[in-house]
Chains A and B, each alone.
Chain A
């Protein structure tokens, strides 16, 4: 083992900044009085913003560190930026909400920072050991956050998430062990070389499949999605919003890297499995969402459905001609999803009242008459989820289905568009309530919520007219 060099530290610098900031915040928070937790939130947001600023400056760089265990490349930078933006929204949404729901404690923000750091590391992981480390670092704070409300539902959510999450991590670890057994290495490139030189081994296939199961759980892909509705519904809404975005980005980033770097040799089998997984996830998510009456549960199933769409981008992962555009499409769709997701959850938080009131879809009746801008923003989010103009959702779906068709998976694209049609029904239900029914909703006016809904809705609409820049970013974030 050689001494770590400057390059090694440089490769994990963004991650280090955030971890250091989180540790400091943990200490500083002890001296901040209970009624002034806004300071903690601001410091946390500042830390994320600083890391984000530094992260953005890393675009175009490509560095490998710690004997190839960690890489910093376009892909990891893109994913890290997305994760950091999610973290920022997570803090912004949480601040007013936590005070209103009486769960304002400083640890919230510290845990969030640790989790974001874990997600960033996940995007950089080039070794199964690092994948495991990152997975634990991002998951454990999320388990705690899910149970943060200390009421029955929240505790149930935390325990459920923890037990099933620990189980899923077990799958990843066991899978990694089998892969190590088959190839004698945990380095992703090492696995690829060992696998392409040796005979195809059953052990390697089983190991890869187990890893897929573990991450399928993290990104809420069917049939590993069972925990999602309960956890999303029980967890504090600001946590749900963060979890729905952050955990998905990290999970998909890891899946993409592990599969396309380490397991291209297995693509003949894995492509079929991923195809089935993607189709199943789209169908289960969209069809079960149809019957939901609680908006948090509906959005939970919608998040399952969107995992299915993103999985589409993985299906042709062994095909060298299309994988580049496919990865770009997947990342672009993730970004679209993240923006829409936070916008929609911000609206949910605006209407949520204590003790889980204000969360039925019928509670949105009459919103358009009383709060026209909020209803208009929610409409934009719903249209973006469906994939209709003038929103980024349309561009994202267009990109995604295009890469599926160009990979020769026309059937997959057809299933994708049909399930989008199904999804139109339940997303429109929200619009029907807001615009076409009478009601008298009352919203909480918080600057953070107004900021989030305005920013995301404007970006979603404006960027749909000029998506070139985002395309360029996504297409440069290609895995080597």
Chain B
């Protein structure tokens, strides 16, 4: 019982309660199944708020700021030379991502209310399983446990894309699966190597033992670099960093709306979070050596993603490529390896989840009515659906980083950090990346203009288009609230992050 009542255990596995209830239901009771899933994910969100409150309490204890909190730690497999723990904990690096996951899940479920009519039962089961996997990834503090959750997220997402996706869904699903697995198998070998060298899979213990191994040469700098690369391979594919991004447009475009929202909102963050939690902390010297290179790739990604976005005729693809650009910013800030850069990167992960999540939701809502996402056939939409247009405008502006909205805060802090970064070594990366902000304005406003302004297009003309209904408003308005909140008063969010960021940076030999 004590095991189950740990806040983090409860948070991670609560969606399973929903899965069990749904399993007992009849395929035909679609409404009841939807409600069960929604209630389960809302309750998970409730638990995440409880976790947040406990987190505040734990942080305010003197000297505990920035440490791991709410630990749930039990020996799991400790026979036959194994040293694996069931070990969940949360700190400033992960708390916001945990909240984001819990927050986006019910929202995504709400977006499927009328969009998913076929095989509702299976959809909800896979979705809730995915939530378990994502929570586990952000909370696990044992590398084996982390790897299990990390690989597990693949399975439900594969089904979500492959069954409920667009016309090329099977291709996209398999591509997504194989790409991600290709990265994680390298990480597996690195995890095994680390586990054998340090005789533990437990991350805090590993962090305590590694400096000695580095100092004595038991793991030489070359080995450390290889380990860094093996972990980076898994995470860079997930982020995705240029040039490993080619699975992303396919997966995003073919996935159902809820899948795209979760994919962009949470799954991509698993990659950036992985860099933060593992690469930077476990391999400090390799991190510093690699920082300029990562910054280079990130800068290329920012410019490339923005340029390719501009060329898209499919709205969803446009937003998908914009993710490559936005996550380039996150990577640039993170490998600036200073307080501003890293804090900005963490906040930008949340911002991207909110704004891109909102964009995908809105695109899904209009697609449900028109069944096309081709920019050319739209036009003059604002006149017909003013509420939809307004919210779309806010989400677009947030995505391109307009001051007063959340995107600006994140990108500005990141660029500030990258300009003054000792690790990157040159202000040029930040300088060039700043152009990415302008390019974002170009492709997003181009899209907005073509779809919402100007003369009525083919589709707008021939369809009886309806504006957002109450359910759809409930789905997107919470996101908009946070866009303004973070944009106007980001201090509470930074305060959550700052101590943990300081702690990991102080461990770096910069």
- Does B195 count as interface, using CB distance less than 8 angstroms? yes
Q: Is the CB of A472 within 8 A of B193?
A: no
- Does B192 count as interface, using CB distance less than 8 angstroms? yes
Q: Is the CB of B189 within 8 A of A413?
A: yes
Among listed B72-80, B283-291, B384-392, interface-contacting one: B72-80
Q: Is the CB of A436 within 8 A of B163?
A: yes
In the bound complex, residues from chain A placing their C-beta under 8 Å from that of B173 are: 432, 436
Q: Is the CB of B77 within 8 A of A402?
A: no
On whether A474 and B80 interact (CB within 8 A), knowing A394-B148, A394-B151, the answer reads yes
Interface size bucket, A side? 20 to 34
Contact of A402 among B151, B177, B195 (CB under 8 A): B195
Q: Is the CB of A471 within 8 A of B79?
A: yes
In the bound complex, residues from chain B placing their C-beta under 8 Å from that of A471 are: 77, 79-80, 82
- Does B493 count as interface, using CB distance less than 8 angstroms? no
The SS class assigned to the B binding surface is helix
Q: Is the CB of B181 within 8 A of A421?
A: yes
- Does A313 count as interface, using CB distance less than 8 angstroms? no
- Does B196 count as interface, using CB distance less than 8 angstroms? yes
- Does A66 count as interface, using CB distance less than 8 angstroms? no
- Does B52 count as interface, using CB distance less than 8 angstroms? no
In the bound complex, residues from chain B placing their C-beta under 8 Å from that of A401 are: 188-189, 192
CB distance from A427 to the nearest CB of B (A): 11
A390 CA to B148 CA in the complex, in Å? 8
A402 CA to B84 CA in the complex, in Å? 13
Q: Is the CB of A417 within 8 A of B152?
A: no
A405 CA to B189 CA in the complex, in Å? 8
Q: Is the CB of A405 within 8 A of B185?
A: no
- Does B63 count as interface, using CB distance less than 8 angstroms? no
Q: Is the CB of B174 within 8 A of A388?
A: no
- Does A428 count as interface, using CB distance less than 8 angstroms? yes
On whether A406 and B196 interact (CB within 8 A), knowing A388-B154, A468-B77, the answer reads yes
A435 CA to B158 CA in the complex, in Å? 11
**Restricting to B115-158, which residues have a CB under 8 Å from any CB of A?**
119, 122, 144, 148-149, 151-152, 154-155, 158
**Restricting to A399-419, which residues have a CB under 8 Å from any CB of B?**
401-402, 405-406, 410, 413-414, 417-418
Q: Is the CB of A325 within 8 A of B80?
A: yes
- Does B186 count as interface, using CB distance less than 8 angstroms? yes
A421 CA to B181 CA in the complex, in Å? 7
Q: Is the CB of A402 within 8 A of B79?
A: no
Q: Is the CB of A467 within 8 A of B192?
A: no
The SS class assigned to the A binding surface is helix
- Does B231 count as interface, using CB distance less than 8 angstroms? no
- Does A383 count as interface, using CB distance less than 8 angstroms? yes
In the bound complex, residues from chain A placing their C-beta under 8 Å from that of B154 are: 388
- Does B162 count as interface, using CB distance less than 8 angstroms? yes
A199 CA to B389 CA in the complex, in Å? 88
- Residue-wise interface mask of A (448-474) relative to B, using a CB-CB cutoff of 8 A (1 in contact, 0 not): 000000000000000000011001101
CB distance from B267 to the nearest CB of A (A): 16
In the bound complex, residues from chain A placing their C-beta under 8 Å from that of B77 are: 467-468, 471
- Does A420 count as interface, using CB distance less than 8 angstroms? yes
CB distance from B61 to the nearest CB of A (A): 33
20 A-B pairs besides A388-B151, A401-B188 with CB distance below 8 A are: A369-B119, A389-B155, A398-B188, A402-B195, A410-B189, A410-B193, A414-B186, A417-B185, A421-B178, A421-B181, A425-B174, A428-B177, A435-B162, A436-B173, A468-B77, A468-B78, A468-B79, A471-B79, A472-B80, A475-B80
Residues of B within 8 A of A (CB): 76-82, 119, 122, 144, 148-149, 151-152, 154-155, 158-159, 162-163, 169-170, 173-174, 177-178, 181-182, 185-186, 188-189, 192-193, 195-196
16 of the cross-chain contacts (CB-CB < 8 Å) are A328-B80, A369-B119, A372-B122, A389-B151, A390-B148, A394-B148, A398-B144, A398-B192, A405-B189, A405-B192, A421-B178, A436-B170, A468-B76, A468-B78, A472-B80, A475-B80
